[in-house]
Structure 1
Amino acid sequence: MNKCKVVAVANQKGGVGKTTTTVNLGVGLAQQGKKVLLVDTDPQSSLTVSLGIKNPDDLNTTISDLMQVVVDNGNLSPLDKGILKDIEGVDLVPSNIGLSSFEVSLVNTMSREFVLRSYLGAVKRNYDYVLIDCMPSLGMLTINALASADSVLIPCQANYLSTKGLKLLMGSIAKVRRQINPELKIDGILLTMVDSRTNNAKSIIAALRQTGSNLRVLNTEIPFSVRAAECSVEGKSIFAHDGKGKVAAAYTALVEEVSTLEQRNRNRPGADRGL
């Protein structure tokens, strides 16, 4: 199996499509024959619910339990314990509200930034891609995700408040690079819920794309769609809910773009980090 790529889907702004992107990029990659693991690191369990697990608090094992095993120097055996298998072709490490109290306990944990990385180091050998759905904050769980990742994908709405928060996120990524994970790359900004009919969206998208080589904005844009908003309620990906719609087509294009970028990076050792 090829080297696994770990991608953190992150933005401290909520409601920008992180979970939707994690689900649909993951399922799209699986449809291309890739072995994919999705990891929910948000105590709100949005990713878990979006994949059809309606009562996450009833689960016996979640990401907080698995990370606690790492903290306790326990043996992660069997390695697939707690992983929910083959949901629309992807595997899932779920979360529930217990992750919130676990994050608080991390403050007093030795090497607290590397707990998730230790867990993923044990299981990622079985996958081509691991996608981490980050919570909408820059707290310890997000730092763990960035410390674990090879790259960051940044979903962002084409509006003023979403783009305003990018500077803070970029500062946090730069700090993680300096202190924790110097190999961390940025795949780019993914524009989500785009309504290209509005002048405001057009001007913001144009401004972002004019940043040039300093920050890559992916060619793919995810359009706004009520059908996409229905997916989390249904507990399905856009491919299962509206496979012939414009959002499914956009996520198919995103899969192709991400795959192309990854192949390009593998063929160009020492290439820039996307900043």
Structure 2
Amino acid sequence: MRFVIVTGMSGAGKSTALKMLEDVGYYCVDNLPISLISKFAELTYAPSSEITKVALGVDIRSGQALGELEQVLEGMVVAGFTYEVLFLDAEDEVLVKRYKETRRSHPLSGGGRVDKGIQEERRKLEFLKKQADYIIDTSQLLTRELKAELDKIFVQNQEFKNLVITILSFGFKYGIPSDSDLVFDVRFLPNPYYIDELKPKTGNDKEVQEYVMGFDVSHEFLNKLVEMLKFLIPNYIIEGKNQLVISIGCTGGKHRSVTLANKLYEALGNSVEYGLKIEHRDIEKDAVRKA
């Protein structure tokens, strides 16, 4: 029996997650009164029950009764009912933007400012986030990426990594990525742009990588960066951080930053402590501008 409580911030994707879990065979119930959760667990755990996978949506809509949930969950443990908590989260600015786009009012805003409602919701859901087995930050996730994460956890039963690191290459002339946590400037490295045969290529091409990494300063920078990140990452995990965006920039985001981002991705790969993604934001922009 797998009993999953799906919760999180309003606007972070809880309803979407429930629909996805329903599509893969979970019996889903949303917004069940808190006082009925114990009885519901008792029925689903009964030997006669044919249900083997349950996803129960719980959120701020429960009102004052939400404060009783902690005691209800403790009672489930005493009764021998195991459960998992999936917490969907997102950055405040992202949540505000989503509410404005849908023109919905926040359940706790009372017709006032959305950000005030979000702050109050975070306070009331803090105990659930602390208990969460899985925290997924949907701030930068596409729907298909959320589906892939849920599939890994609840279908493939893969070990979940709460911290997801995105290594992002970019060009300073197109602006620093707004969601960056750490930004590194590699414009001090020799530039392949001024080599005629390398100019049209990118940091994904072997020739450009060999040129950029053909200098001692490139290796020294990469080694120091990896050493610093291997110190920082475990501390971010202890802090409870679940999204880390490491941005590496050069002038156009095509050669040096792409090369160093690729090398950093290789150096940090295959970790059991965190998930890792790589993106090259501006790699094609020069070609588009010229066209």
TM-score by length of 1: 0.35
TM-score by length of 2: 0.33
Of the two structures, which has the highest relative contact order with CA contacts closer than 8 Å and spacing of 6 or more?
A: 1
